[in-house]
């Protein structure tokens, strides 16, 4: 280019400049347009339009901000921008299903969104500002949103104690405990009983090798024609606590050989008096009398029997003990007698009480079990088993350890492998990339993995040792929820401080009471101070509630107070001495501190007051809608026929004032009685003494009246 032309603009150059300026302008213009069209800004503008369509526009707009909204809780490791799009989350007027998402307000829950953020419960990626990145998993961010169906898992991450609001989580934890998952897996916070499966040290004295073979092959004995059994009206797979192991024919032979030979601690055998046998063995009433005793003693409170009506098989009875439909074809008769007389001599940690048996009852009931609760075809599919060889026994012993049997079943001298299954304490936080999906055709996420593994353990891993359980959908979801809640140690100390630990309830009585309490296993059904089962009423304050003589009579001959109950207190055939020991302890120790144990002056309740109380009961408050007196009334609350002999006046007064203060989850409504009405109702209830005449027993009371306990 000549020197003189330098610095002069040619037309070509002008054109080039003009074009590049236009391009430059276009580039400048595109960025703001791109920015303006960002996904979250679209939601911002659409929220503005939505707010304008609402009746309370002014307030909604006042809370609106056009920029990214962020909940930042450094202590909890939370940076959540979810509220950028979910703008109505705290607006009470938007708490309605008709409000379009993402603007609907959060349902009212115990935690405030601004104080807790979103991702601690819902998971997903808090800092993301795009819908897909926030809710689904990406290569960099692997935690997808947790489906609402399993959201209770998030409650369980901090709340290790059970919450009333999370029934699915509670059910899942109960299943993990009752199916003994912690036998093989580390599951923090799941209760671990002293005995998981039954101890097998002497199993050879109880059942035959053939029965063991059958049980290991197919641990379910009762099924209807569709392979199902209904329990308490719910279709279930008749879930036995024992899962199904995938055992080969050889393994079945070897394991049954090993187990059938276990006779280390045989129970003390008992011979029923020959006179009783002679008297009853030829009696045609023998088995029907046995069945009657079986029913009268309420064995069905803990054990169920299959009943088939109209082609539908149902298990009727409780599930604390095993189902007994075919138990007569299972157990050895001599073992049965020994077991019923003293269960603890065979199984030290059993929850079966030691009943007081007369030889006559024992003979009738065992004969009933051996002749009626049987199935001659039960062992039909079992091949002929010869006496086991030493090789089979040794191989069975090895299998017992390798298959993980020893993790739940103790055998004297066989030490289980430590940490047999994987540690699941941090399963709930795992990312999809940390899981082994194998060839399973399932979505690659944690929920799908857990459910596939639970439903069919070898679906995701052919070499899995985990046995096969048989879930219905609700239980599968419940266990999944409980497993998702286990996120291991929480990442920040602020979060760790939020953990609500599970209450460890203890009740360790001593002395004479403890012996009787252990003998009858009161804690299997009743709670004492928070410890024990929940089948029957909590007895922590029973001494304040029930009169001493009533306790003695009830223990000796339990009469149900609630007409519709199916599962009732068993007839334990208690001796006078045992009943008195229990009643004395209950009256003296199991007292509510807020209730005055001194018997009120009998003159305090005049007939006029009782008449007023009856008026209030029948007309003003219509208590008969739930309670029965003299054959008429409702089925909801206990029968009050004998209230005057059953309840203490002090308890009735305190109860009427505030029932929930005494029994927190009672359904008795708390009413607004005046003090005078309470006195009148108490006076009336104390006049109700229409129950069966109390049995006069010589050893009824050993409690001095000086202690102020009503005899």
Q: Which residues are at the interface with other proteins (CB under 8 A)?
A: 12-13, 15-16, 19-20, 23, 26-27, 30, 33-34, 37, 39, 54-56, 58-59, 93, 96-98, 107-109, 131-132, 136, 147-149, 151, 164-165, 167-168, 233, 564-566, 620-622, 625-626, 633-636, 660, 665, 667, 669-672
105: nearest Cα among 155, 53, 164, 47: 47
Q: For residue 94, what is the DSSP state?
A: G
Interatomic CA distance for residues 305 and 502, integer angstroms = 35
Torsion of CA 653, 658, 664, 665, to 10 degrees: 90
Interatomic CA distance for residues 277 and 5, integer angstroms = 135
Provide the minimum distance between the beta carbon of 35 and other proteins in the complex, in angstroms, as a whole number: 12
Provide the minimum distance between the beta carbon of 445 and other proteins in the complex, in angstroms, as a whole number: 12
For residues 39 and 210, which CB has a smaller minimum distance to other proteins in the complex? 39
For residues 30 and 598, which CB has a smaller minimum distance to other proteins in the complex? 30
Q: For residue 261, what is the DSSP state?
A: T
Residue owning tokens 């199935």: 375
Provide the minimum distance between the beta carbon of 315 and other proteins in the complex, in angstroms, as a whole number: 15
For residues 404 and 633, which CB has a smaller minimum distance to other proteins in the complex? 633
Provide the minimum distance between the beta carbon of 310 and other proteins in the complex, in angstroms, as a whole number: 17
Provide the minimum distance between the beta carbon of 89 and other proteins in the complex, in angstroms, as a whole number: 14
For residues 111 and 349, which CB has a smaller minimum distance to other proteins in the complex? 111
Interatomic CA distance for residues 377 and 329, integer angstroms = 9
Interatomic CA distance for residues 554 and 425, integer angstroms = 46
Provide the minimum distance between the beta carbon of 172 and other proteins in the complex, in angstroms, as a whole number: 14
Report, in angstroms and rounded to the nearest whole number, the Rg of the chain calculated over CA atoms. 34
Interatomic CA distance for residues 105 and 100, integer angstroms = 10
For residues 38 and 246, which CB has a smaller minimum distance to other proteins in the complex? 38
Provide the minimum distance between the beta carbon of 500 and other proteins in the complex, in angstroms, as a whole number: 19
For residues 669 and 704, which CB has a smaller minimum distance to other proteins in the complex? 669
385: nearest Cα among 492, 254, 519: 254
CB 476 within 8 A of CB 454: yes
Bridge partners, residue 647, by sequence: 546
CB 129 within 8 A of CB 38: yes
666: nearest Cα among 638, 628, 632, 635: 638
For residues 349 and 444, which CB has a smaller minimum distance to other proteins in the complex? 444
Provide the minimum distance between the beta carbon of 57 and other proteins in the complex, in angstroms, as a whole number: 9
Provide the minimum distance between the beta carbon of 355 and other proteins in the complex, in angstroms, as a whole number: 26
List C-alpha distances in Å: 327 to 102, 277, 322, 344, 345: 58, 22, 9, 19, 20
Provide the minimum distance between the beta carbon of 313 and other proteins in the complex, in angstroms, as a whole number: 19
Provide the minimum distance between the beta carbon of 2 and other proteins in the complex, in angstroms, as a whole number: 14
Break the chain down into helix, strand, coil percent, rounded to 5: 45, 5, 50
For residues 66 and 164, which CB has a smaller minimum distance to other proteins in the complex? 164
Tell me if the bond preceding 427 is cis, omega within 30° of 0.
no
Provide the minimum distance between the beta carbon of 659 and other proteins in the complex, in angstroms, as a whole number: 8
Q: What backbone torsions phi and psi does residue 155 show, to the nearest 5 degrees?
A: -60, -40
Provide the minimum distance between the beta carbon of 665 and other proteins in the complex, in angstroms, as a whole number: 7
Provide the minimum distance between the beta carbon of 698 and other proteins in the complex, in angstroms, as a whole number: 38
Provide the minimum distance between the beta carbon of 27 and other proteins in the complex, in angstroms, as a whole number: 6
Give the 3-state secondary structure of residue 237: strand
Burial class (CB in 10 A: 0-12, 13-18, 19+), 142: middle
For residues 20 and 394, which CB has a smaller minimum distance to other proteins in the complex? 20
Interatomic CA distance for residues 613 and 556, integer angstroms = 32
Interatomic CA distance for residues 594 and 25, integer angstroms = 83
For residues 45 and 671, which CB has a smaller minimum distance to other proteins in the complex? 671
DSSP string computed for 305-339: EEEEETTEEEEEE-SSS---TTGGGTS-HHHHHHH
CB 77 within 8 A of CB 495: yes
Interatomic CA distance for residues 157 and 113, integer angstroms = 17
Q: What backbone torsions phi and psi does residue 313 show, to the nearest 5 degrees?
A: -95, 130
For residues 524 and 628, which CB has a smaller minimum distance to other proteins in the complex? 628
For residues 233 and 593, which CB has a smaller minimum distance to other proteins in the complex? 233
Contacts of residue 207, defined as CB under 8 A and 6 or more positions apart, other chains included, come to 215, 260, 330, 331, 332
For residues 25 and 514, which CB has a smaller minimum distance to other proteins in the complex? 25
Both structure tokens of 450: 């857990």
For residues 221 and 451, which CB has a smaller minimum distance to other proteins in the complex? 451
Provide the minimum distance between the beta carbon of 690 and other proteins in the complex, in angstroms, as a whole number: 20
For residues 392 and 451, which CB has a smaller minimum distance to other proteins in the complex? 451
Provide the minimum distance between the beta carbon of 616 and other proteins in the complex, in angstroms, as a whole number: 11
Q: Tally the C-alpha atoms within 13 A of residue 27's C-alpha that lie toward its C-beta.
A: 6
Give the residue ranges of DSSP H helices in 207-246: 209-217
For residues 77 and 230, which CB has a smaller minimum distance to other proteins in the complex? 230
Burial class (CB in 10 A: 0-12, 13-18, 19+), 636: middle
For residues 563 and 708, which CB has a smaller minimum distance to other proteins in the complex? 563
CB 304 within 8 A of CB 178: no
């Amino acid at each position: 280019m000549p020197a003189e032309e330098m610095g002069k603009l040619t037309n070509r150059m002008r054109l080039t400049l003009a074009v590049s300026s236009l391009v430059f302008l276009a580039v400048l213009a595109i960025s703001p347009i791109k920015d303006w069209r960002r996904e979250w800004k679209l939601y911002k503008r659409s929220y503005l339009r939505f707010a304008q369509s609402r009746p309370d526009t002014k307030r909604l707009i006042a809370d609106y901000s056009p920029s990214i909204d962020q909940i930042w809780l450094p202590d909890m490791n939370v940076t959540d921008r979810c509220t950028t799009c979910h703008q109505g989350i705290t607006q009470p007027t938007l708490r309605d299903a008709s409000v379009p998402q993402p603007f609907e307000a959060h349902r009212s829950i115990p935690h405030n969104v601004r104080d807790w953020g979103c991702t601690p419960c819902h998971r997903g990626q808090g800092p993301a500002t795009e819908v897909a990145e926030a809710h689904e998993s990406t290569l960099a961010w692997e935690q997808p949103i947790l489906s609402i169906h399993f959201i209770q898992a998030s409650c369980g991450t901090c709340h290790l104690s059970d919450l009333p609001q999370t029934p699915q989580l509670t059910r899942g934890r109960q299943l993990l405990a009752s199916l003994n998952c912690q036998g093989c897996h580390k599951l923090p916070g799941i209760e671990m009983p002293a005995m998981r499966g039954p101890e097998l040290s002497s199993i050879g004295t109880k059942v035959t090798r053939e029965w063991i073979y059958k049980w290991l092959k197919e641990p379910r004995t009762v099924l209807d024609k569709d392979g199902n059994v209904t329990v308490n009206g719910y279709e279930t797979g008749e879930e036995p606590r024992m899962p199904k192991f995938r055992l080969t024919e050889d393994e079945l032979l070897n394991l049954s050989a090993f187990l059938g030979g276990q006779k280390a601690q045989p129970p003390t055998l008992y011979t029923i008096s020959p006179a009783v046998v002679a008297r009853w063995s030829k009696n045609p009433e023998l088995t029907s009398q046995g069945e009657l005793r079986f029913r009268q003693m309420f064995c069905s409170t803990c054990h169920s029997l299959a009943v088939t009506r109209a082609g539908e098989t149902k298990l009727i009875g409780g599930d604390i003990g095993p189902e007994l439909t075919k138990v007569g074809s299972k157990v050895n008769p001599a073992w049965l007698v020994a077991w019923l007389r003293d269960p603890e001599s065979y199984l030290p940690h059993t929850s079966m009480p030691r009943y007081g048996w007369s030889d006559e009852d024992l003979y009738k009931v065992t004969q009933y079990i051996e002749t009626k609760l049987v199935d001659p075809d039960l062992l039909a599919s079992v091949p002929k088993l010869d006496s086991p060889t030493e090789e089979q026994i040794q191989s069975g012993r090895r299998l017992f350890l390798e298959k993980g049997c020893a993790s739940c079943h103790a055998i004297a001298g066989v030490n289980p492998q430590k940490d047999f299954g994987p540690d699941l304490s941090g399963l709930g936080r795992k990312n999809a990339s940390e899981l082994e999906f194998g060839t399973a055709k399932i979505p690659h996420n944690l929920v799908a993995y857990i459910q596939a593994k639970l439903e069919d353990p070898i679906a995701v891993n052919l070499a899995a040792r985990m046995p096969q359980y048989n879930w219905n959908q609700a239980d599968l979801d419940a266990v999944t929820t409980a497993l998702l809640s286990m996120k291991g140690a929480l990442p920040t100390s602020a979060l760790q401080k939020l953990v609500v630990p599970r209450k460890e309830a203890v009740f360790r009585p001593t002395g004479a009471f403890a012996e009787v309490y252990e003998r009858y296993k009161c804690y299997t059904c009743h709670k004492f101070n928070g410890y024990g089962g929940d089948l029957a009423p909590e007895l922590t304050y029973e001494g304040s509630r029930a009169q001493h003589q009533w306790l003695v009579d009830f223990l000796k001959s339990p009469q149900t107070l609630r007409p519709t109950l199916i599962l009732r207190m068993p007839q334990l055939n208690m001796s006078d001495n045992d009943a008195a020991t229990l009643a004395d302890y209950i009256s003296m120790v199991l007292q509510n501190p807020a209730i005055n144990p001194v018997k009120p002056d009998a003159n305090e309740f005049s007939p006029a007051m009782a008449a007023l109380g009856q008026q209030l009961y029948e007309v003003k408050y219509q208590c008969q809608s739930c309670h029965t007196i003299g054959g008429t009334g409702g089925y909801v609350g206990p029968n009050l026929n004998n209230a005057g002999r059953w309840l203490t006046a002090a308890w009735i007064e305190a109860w009427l004032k505030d029932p929930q203060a005494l029994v927190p989850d009672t359904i008795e409504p708390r009413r607004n009685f005046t003090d005078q009405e309470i006195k009148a109702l108490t006076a009336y209830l104390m006049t109700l003494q229409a129950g069966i005449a109390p049995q006069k027993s010589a050893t009824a009371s050993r409690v001095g009246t000086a202690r102020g306990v009503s005899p």
